[in-house]
Amino acid sequence: MILPPEEIKFSEEDLERWNLVRDFQKRLAPSLKERTPTKTEADPRRMLSIEDYFSLVLFAMFNPVIDTMRGLCYASTLEKVQRDVCSGPVSLASFSEAQHLFDPEILRGLMQQISLQAQPDFGDARLKELGKELAAVDGTLIPALSRMSWALWQDEDHRAAKFHVKFSVLRQTVLDATLTTGNSSERDELRKFWKPDEFYSGDRGYGADYSFLAEMRQAGSSFAIRIRNDAVMDEVQSLPLSDEDLKAGVVSDQWVNLGKQWDDDPIRVVRICAYDTELLIATDRADLPAELISLIYRYRWQIELFFKWIKCILGCRHLLAESPRGVAIQLYCACIVALMLTIATGRKPTKRHWELIQWYMCGMATLDELLKGLGVNKKMA
Phi then psi for residue 255, to 5 deg, are -100, 130
In a domain, 213, yes or no: yes
Sheet holding 222-227, edge to edge: 173-181, 159-168, 133-144, 198-202, 222-227, 277-283, 267-274, 250-258, 233-238
Does residue 338 belong to any structural domain of this protein?
yes
Residue 284 in any domain: the answer is: yes
Q: Residue 259: which region, alpha, beta or left (left: phi > 0; alpha: psi -120 to 50)?
A: left
Range of the domain at 331: 5-110+325-374
pLDDT band for 261, please (50, 70, 90 cuts).
confident
Q: Report pLDDT digits (tens) over 37-66.
A: 888 888 888 889 999 999 999 988 877 778
Contacts of 84 (CB under 8 A, 6+ apart): 19, 21, 22
User: Minimal CA–CA distance to 161: which of 138, 144, 139?
Assistant: 144
Write down the pLDDT at residue 343: 77
Regarding whether 367 and 287 lie in a shared domain, the answer is no
From CA 202, how far away is CA 192, in angstroms rounded?
Answer: 15
- Segment 232-261 shows an average pLDDT of 93
Does 293 score more than 60 pLDDT? yes
Q: CB within 8 A of 270, min separation 6: which ones? A: 250, 252, 253, 280, 281, 283, 290, 293, 294
Is residue 349 helix, strand or coil? coil
Do 329 and 293 fall within a single domain? no
Instruction: Tell whether the model's pLDDT for residue 380 goes beyond 80.
Output: no
User: Does the structure show a pLDDT above 80 at 235?
Assistant: yes
Parallel, antiparallel or unpaired: strands 250-258 and 267-274: antiparallel
Distance (Å, whole) CA 360 – CA 206: 42
**Which of 299, 333, 359 is the last residue before a domain boundary?**
299
One domain, residues 9 and 106? yes
Residue 164 lies in a domain: no
- 88-101: per-residue pLDDT in tens? 999 999 999 999 99
Q: Using the predicted structure, report yes or no on whether residue 319 has a pLDDT greater than 90.
A: no
Taking the C-alpha atoms of residue 222 and residue 224, their distance in angstroms, rounded to an integer, is 7
Give me the mean pLDDT over the 209-228 stretch.
93
Are 9 and 79 in the same domain?
A: yes
Domain count, the chain: 2
pTM, 2 dp: 0.87
